[in-house]
Amino acid sequence: MPNPPRAKVIVTRRLPEPVETRMRELFDVELYDADTPMTREQLADAMARADILVPTLGDRIDQGLLARAGENLRLIANYGAGFDHIDVQTALQRGIMVTNTPGVLTEDTADMAMAMILSVLRRLREGTMLMQQGEWQGWSPTALMGQRVGGKRLGILGMGRIGQAVAQRARAFGLQVHYHNRRRLHESTENALEATYWESLDQMLARVDILSIHCPHTPGTFHLLNARRLKLMKPSAIVINTARGEIVDENALTRMLRSGELAGAGLDVFEHGNDINPRLKGLDNVLLLPHMGSATVEGRVEMGEKVIINIKVFVDGHRPPDQVVPAML
């Protein structure tokens, strides 16, 4: 008796080689050779032909594209933890399941957040530029004086997996951990992290020296850090964002950094994707990174392994372990 046809899986972006190799072994997979996003028409064509689509953060799958999806498309197995680029509600209404890859990038993103805190406080970007441009004239008692890390108050906005991992690292550096979250952590977790909960985000912002953002982008968190809230912070404070750019009003942040109302920022994500506010680029007190929070070999391969597990479980007729459900939206 012939084997049933394998699921047609279309991948929208080049993935790590071990992930692509394993997909070839398991599925009828169509890989995308370019390391740039598909055009909207290419994405529409893929959705018309696929049983399973594997998109990435750069693929905006909105209501219009979902309306053009083929009848066979039943799963969008997102390569990434965030899914705000996918209209999940419309997908579910059309009978298309959505999965993601949570938990894989916790440690990598927490490492990056901590690295950015250290870099901004100790002015590592400015020191590197001085050396690369050949302008260093030798040691000076007053040159490039930053801020001591130990003893500072760290405010964590969003105390999920990544926020808690940042808190663990922060304690090792002598930082005092404060946090604001939609729900307060269990007392035992708070005690283990030596973390102080603030029900009022406004009150926490006024008291911390460092703000590290780790909440998802939802309609409720869009511009959660608006001009009014940013102005509550100390002029000596810094803002670190490894979550989603839309959470911060980038124009307001830029104005305050330029005027000295905030001491610095470390940004791995931006409000308008790779269309970065040009007034940010020339600032000495800002560290800009190209969305590197998850950029480790181990993390990116593990993301792919989670995608493969979600697809395999779905194809075998079971519920994938990382299904995005309405309660998560």
Where in the chain are the domains? Answer: 8-104+296-328, 106-288
Please count the residues of the chain: 329
Position 150: which residue type?
G
The whole-angstrom distance between residue 281's C-alpha and the CA centroid of its chain comes to: 20
Say if 8-104+296-328 and 106-288 have the same CATH topology: yes
Whole-number pLDDT of residue 282: 84
CATH fold label, 8-104+296-328 = Rossmann fold (3.40.50)
Per run of 10 residues, the mean pLDDT along the chain (length 329 residues) is 73 96 96 92 97 95 96 97 93 97 94 98 96 94 96 98 97 98 96 98 98 93 98 98 96 97 97 91 94 94 97 96 81
Whole-number pLDDT of residue 4: 58
3.40.50.720, 3.30.300.30, 3.40.50.300, 3.30.360.10: which CATH number matches 106-288? 3.40.50.720
Helix runs in the chain, H state only: 17-26, 40-49, 63-67, 88-93, 106-121, 124-132, 161-172, 187-193, 201-205, 227-230, 250-259, 278-281, 297-315
